[in-house]
Amino acid sequence: MITIRPAEEKDLPEILEIYNYAILNTTSVYSYKPHTLEMRKKWFAEKMAAGHPVLVAVKDDRIAGFIAYGPFRVWPAYKYTVEHSVHVKKDFWRQGIAKMLLTEIIEIAKQNGVHAIIGGIDAANDASVKLHEQFNFKEVGHFKEVGFKFNKWLDLKFHELVLETPANPVGE
């Protein structure tokens, strides 16, 4: 059985393991060097202080994956738009965990009055593109050769899900 719950600080070593695997072995994270536990602790503290969700999927007392969102861009008018990131431990790929995590984060986004969720996806990551399409994310941008990793140029796609929230948006 898989349980989705809010992440806790005790989960950070396993979250770090999943994230570092992505850095070292995939193009889902456009970074070169593994993160440290201190970096993950800072990331988590910033998410918590800002009221942004971090969720984990737990199976057999192990963290099988995680999802989080945060600001899309720093300017105030983007306050109703977030960018999310979802990662699943390799041992648990193709078990529907990313789908479960994405389902939960979309519901939380609605509750929090988010209007648009952005996903930055490596263009060659067909599994992630298909996952997001299942949730009606639409491709809204395709940036050619903006990343360079594993001795090749990488294209980045932006996918967006527009929600019917918030009920009463406020500008300036």
Supply the pLDDT for residue 72. Answer: 95
* Residue 14: predicted pLDDT: 97
What is residue 22's predicted lDDT score, i.e. its pLDDT?
Answer: 97
Q: Which residues of the chain have pLDDT under 70?
A: none
What is the model's pLDDT at position 169?
Answer: 87
168 belongs to a structural domain? no
Confidence at residue 167, expressed as pLDDT on a 0 to 100 scale = 82
Q: What is the model's pLDDT at position 166?
A: 86
pLDDT at 172: 73
- pLDDT for 171 equals 79
Query: Is 87 contained in some domain?
Result: yes
Query: Does residue 167 lie within any of the structural domains?
Result: no
Residue 25 maps to a domain: yes
Considering its fold, how many domains does the chain have in total? 1
pTM summary value:
0.94
The pLDDT value given to residue 70: 96
What does the DSSP 8-state code read for residue 125? -
**Please, what is the average pLDDT of the chain?**
96
Residues 6+ apart with CB under 8 A from 160: 116, 117, 118, 119, 137, 138, 140
Half-sphere CA count of 102, side-chain side, radius 13 A: 23
**Which domain covers residue 97, as residue numbers?**
2-162
Distance CA(121)–CA(129), nearest Å, equals 7
The pLDDT value recorded for residue 138 is 98
Which CATH number fits the domain that encloses residue 134?
3.40.630.30
How high is the pLDDT of residue 109?
A: 97
Q: Is residue 169 included in any domain, yes or no?
A: no
* Tens digit of each residue's pLDDT (9 = 90 or more) over 153-168: 999 999 999 999 888 8
pLDDT of 7 reads 98
The answer to whether position 105 is within a domain reads yes
Domain membership of residue 155 (yes or no) is yes
Using CA atoms, how far apart are residues 46 and 153, in angstroms rounded to an integer?
Answer: 31
Residue 171 in domain: no
In the prediction, which pLDDT does 163 show? 97
